[in-house]
Structure 1
Amino acid sequence: MKIAFYGSSLLSSYWNGAATYYRGLLKALAALGYDITFYEPDVYDRQKNRDMEAPGWCSVVVYEPTPQALMQVTARAPDADIVVKASGVGFEDEALLLEALRHARPDALTIFWDVDAPATLAQLGDEPDHPLHRALRKLDLVLTYGGGDPVVYAYRAMGARHCIPVYNALDPDTHHPVEPDRRFACDLAFLGNRLPDREKRVEEFFLAPAARLPASRFLIGGSGWDDKPMSPNVRWIGHVGTRDHNAFNVTPKAVLNISRDSMASNGFSPATRVFEAAGAGACLISDAWLGIDHFLKPDEEILAARDGQDVIDILADLTDDRARAVGEAALRRVLADHTYSHRAALADEIFRRFAKRSPVEAAA
Structure 2
Amino acid sequence: MKLVVLGLSLSSSWGNGHATTFRALLSSFAARGHDILFLERDVPWYASQRDIADPDYCSLEFYGSVDELDRWRGEIASADAVMVGSYVPDGVAVGAYVQRHAGGVTAFYDIDTPVTLAKLRQGECDYLSADLIPGYDVYCSFTGGPTLDLLQREYGSPMARPLYCSVDAGAYQPLDVPKRWDLSYLGTYSPDRQPTLEKLLIEPARLLPEKRFVVAGAQYPDDIDWPANVERIEHLPPRDHAEFYSASRYTLNVTRADMIEAGWSPSVRLFEAGACATPVISDVWPGLGDLLEPNREILFAWNREQVIVALDEDRSCIGHAARSRILAQHTSRSRAAELEACLSDAAAMRADDAMAAAE
- Is the TM value for this pair above 0.5? yes
Check conservation: 2:279, 2:319, Cα contact below 8 A. yes
Query: In 1, distance between residues paired with 2:255 and 2:199?
Result: 12
1:29 is matched with 29
Tell me, in whole angstroms, the C-alpha distance in 1 between the residues paired with 2:319 and 2:99.
44
In structure 2, the residue matched to 1:166 is 163
Q: For the residues of structure 2 that align with 1:67 and 1:270, how far apart are their CA atoms?
A: 32
Residue 262 of structure 2 is aligned to residue 290 of structure 1: no
Amino acid at match of 2:182: D
Distance 1:210 1:150 in 2: 37
Note the alpha carbon deviations across 1:49-76, whole angstroms, 9 max, x for none: 2222322211111222x34324444564
Q: Secondary structure at the match of 2:108?
A: strand
Q: 1:99 aligns with which of 97, 100, 103?
A: 97
Counting only pairs closer than 5 Å after superposition, residues 1-364 of structure 1 correspond to structure 2 as 1-64=1-64, 66-73=65-72, 76-89=75-88, 91-105=89-103, 108-127=104-123, 132-145=129-142, 147-156=143-152, 157-180=154-177, 185-225=180-220, 227=222, 228-316=224-312, 318-319=313-314, 322=315, 324-355=316-347
Residues in 1 aligned to 2:20 and 2:178: alpha-carbon distance in whole angstroms: 22
Work out whether residues 197 and 262 of structure 1, in 8 Å CA contact, stay in contact via their aligned partners in 2. no
| Structure 1 unaligned residues grouped into runs of 5+ | 359-364
Distance 1:60 1:338 in 2: 26
Give the aligned CA root-mean-square deviation in angstroms.
2.0
Kept in 2: contact 1:21–1:168 (CA 8 A): yes
| CA shift in 2, pair 1:129/1:329, >3 Å | closer
CA deviation after TM superposition for structure 1 residue 217, in Å? 1.3
Q: Please say if residues 183 and 250 of structure 2, whose CA atoms lie closer than 8 Å, have aligned partners that are also in contact.
A: yes
Worse-matched range after superposition: 199-208 or 19-28: 199-208
Q: Give the distance between the partners of 1:104 and 1:211, measured in 2 at CA.
A: 55
Q: For the residues of structure 1 that align with 2:195 and 2:124, how far apart are their CA atoms?
A: 29
Cα-to-partner distance string for 1:256-293 (whole Å, 9 max, x where unaligned)? 11111111221111111111111111111111221112
The 8 Å contact of residues 121 and 154 in structure 1, kept in 2 or not, is answered as no
1:263 match: secondary structure: helix
Q: TM-score, normalised by structure 1?
A: 0.90
Deviation at 1:13, TM superposition (A): 0.8
Partner of 2:355: none
Aligned 8 A contact 1:24 1:170 in 2: yes
Tell me how far apart the structure 2 counterparts of residues 211 and 73 of structure 1 sit (CA, whole Å). 54
Structure 1 range deviating more: 125-134 or 29-38: 125-134
Instruction: Indicate the percent of aligned positions where both proteins have the same amino acid.
Output: 34
Distance 2:339 2:263 in 1: 21
In structure 2, give the amino acid aligned to 1:239.
Answer: H
1:142 corresponds to which letter in structure 2? Y
Query: Which SS does the other structure have where 2:131 is aligned?
Result: helix
Unaligned 5+ segments in structure 2 are 352-359
For 1:181 and 1:248, locate their aligned partners in 2 and report how far apart those are by CA, in whole Å.
10
Deviation at 1:135, TM superposition (A): 1.1
Q: Report the TM-score when normalising by structure 2.
A: 0.91
The alpha-carbon distance between structure 1 residues 133 and 75, as it changes in their structure 2 partners (threshold 3 A), is farther
Q: What residue identity is the alignment partner of 1:351?
A: L
The runs of at least 4 aligned residues of structure 1 exceeding 3 Å deviation read 70-76, 128-131
Partner SS, residue 45 of structure 2 = coil
SS of the residue corresponding to residue 176 of structure 2 reads coil
Distance 2:61 2:85 in 1: 15
Residue by residue over 1:70-118, the C-alpha shift from the partner in whole angstroms, topping out at 9 and shown as x without a partner, is: 44445641131101111112x211111111111112xx11111111000
CA distance in 1, matches of 2:74, 2:121: 31
